[in-house]
Amino acid sequence: MAIVRAIPDTEAGRRRLALDSPVDRSPIGELDVDGAGEVDSAVARARAAQSAWAARDVGERAAIVRAAIDVIVARRGEIADTVRAETGKPRAEALGVEIVPACDFLNYWTARARRDLRPHRQRLHGYLRPVKKLYIHYQPLGVVGVITPWNAPFVLTLNPVVQALLAGNAVVFKPSEVTPESGAWVARVLHEAGVPEDVVQVLRGDGETGAALVNSDIDKVCFTGSVGTGRKIAAACAARLLPCTLELGGKDAMIVCADADLERAAAGAVYLSMFNTGQVCMSVERIYVVEAVADEFIGLVTRKAAEITYGPGDNDLGPLFWDRQLDIVTRHVDDAKAKGADIPVGGAPVAGNGLYYQPTVVVGADHAMDLMTEETFGPVAAIMRVRDEEEAIRLANDSRYGLSGSVFTRDAAKARRIAARLTTGSVVHNDAAVIYGVPEAPFGGRKDSGVGHVNGTDALRGFAHAQPILIDRWQPKRESIWYPYSEKTIRDLDGLLRYGFGNRLLRRLLS
């Protein structure tokens, strides 16, 4: 993420921010901060444009949005260059973490939109079935506000924006102030695909702009970011009874069982804790390895981590995206070292102007260390030996976070048994982090890791109101329960209870 500096206000009185590269701190751009007035104006334009967008057939909306795939493919080099300028990511990660999954999400959601959002008839139960028919219609919410983070600024913006658009909403979104142009590419590719300009709009700014968006005349908030900011958004939404989806931080645990393929587990431990410089909410932040295989596993991890290339240029590991993140990673590793952990690989920032931190392996970690309890978000594989899988499960659950987790074992049935005991939003077998890229899987956290889901089979419906419409089959003059009450009314109700619900066989027919 680019380094942000405040610079003197513009003549118009708007705050202005300067961005410096995390690679070498050279200037890469400036931006004016959108204030409450600009936010309200954007939301008003979105509301005026939303009804016409919603009036289009869902298939027409999907066809327009689907055209964004061709735009991304054609402009992938420009998008990747922007992402790399603001984050310093290696080109492989700009393509593999940002652009490939963005195209996959677009392809998947546009193919599902007509099926997921069409009105459908819902079968009724029991005594209602002969007299009523139920239909479910999906109405757009209106204007959706989306606030997205800096660690995967293109794909984590595109995914919720596209879901909301397909459901018939207009969207006003704010990418992080330190990856503003990477996020803004989402609006550019959608506009080029044919989405009207007022239907999807981008704001530029920091937390002040985000707060103004949350407090504006919108109908839902979708936020990805820190726990602290998520709590503030939840409180603001609660005051207005505004629906919100919050995808927050993680401290994901990896459990290495005694029967794991140790070569794969070690390769996974290194990559899954360090790709994107460890700045992934579902990256592996805690590793619990069963004592019986710990020595071999640690040896493999140490050797693989020592082979990672890092520094300016297209190496394996880029810089941290934010200067504050460098401080956090350094503090966590230094705390672990002071409390007795061994650091066989790395363990320090890289000298120079960039925000580089060495790929690091920490052995002998425990829950007295910040490294095992607070979100680190850096290229650190923190390993703790455990007696057995039972202890690993207990320690994995000993966290205020609950986003995702992983289990490495050759036994898929065992992986499912362990997963069922983990208090996390999702679990992955012999892999990690990839779960967000599986659109069929509902993705969301437990505990401090969030509220609600993105993705999954009901994802598009999460940006719509499911409106039930109950149709009368026979249109009689009155219902049997309507006024005036009579002795017959009471006999009929009593008979339903005695002979319907009071009879176990008939009770089953009424279900």
Report the catalytic residues: 247, 281
Q: Which amino acid is at 84?
A: R
Torsion (CA) 6, 8, 10, 13 in degrees, nearest 10: 90
| Closest-CA residue to 216 (of 43, 47, 48) | 43
Sequence-distant (6+) residues with CB within 8 A of 439 are 104, 105, 108, 109, 455, 456, 459
Strand positions, DSSP E, 321-441: 342-345, 360-363, 380-386, 401-402, 405-408, 428-429
Q: Are 450 and 248 in contact (CB under 8 A)?
A: yes
Pairwise CA distance, residues 77 & 243, whole Å: 37
Closest CA to 358 of 297, 316, 322, 323: 316
Exposed e or buried b per residue across 478-493, where buried means at least 16 C-beta atoms within 10 angstroms of its C-beta: eeeeeeeeeeeeeeee
CA separation for the pair 503, 506 (Å, rounded): 5
Length of the chain: 511
Task: Find the helix or strand (DSSP H, E) in which 509 lies.
Answer: helix 504-509
Sign of CA dihedral 187, 192, 195, 196: positive
From the DSSP assignment, how many helices (H) and strands (E) are in the chain?
17, 21
- In what side-by-side order are the strands of the sheet with 220-224? 200-202, 170-174, 143-147, 220-224, 244-247, 450-451
Using CA of residue 285, residue 222, residue 187, residue 67, what is the dihedral sign? positive
Q: Residue 172: phi, psi to the nearest 5?
A: -120, 120
User: Phi first, then psi: what are they for 471, rounded to 5°?
Assistant: -105, 135
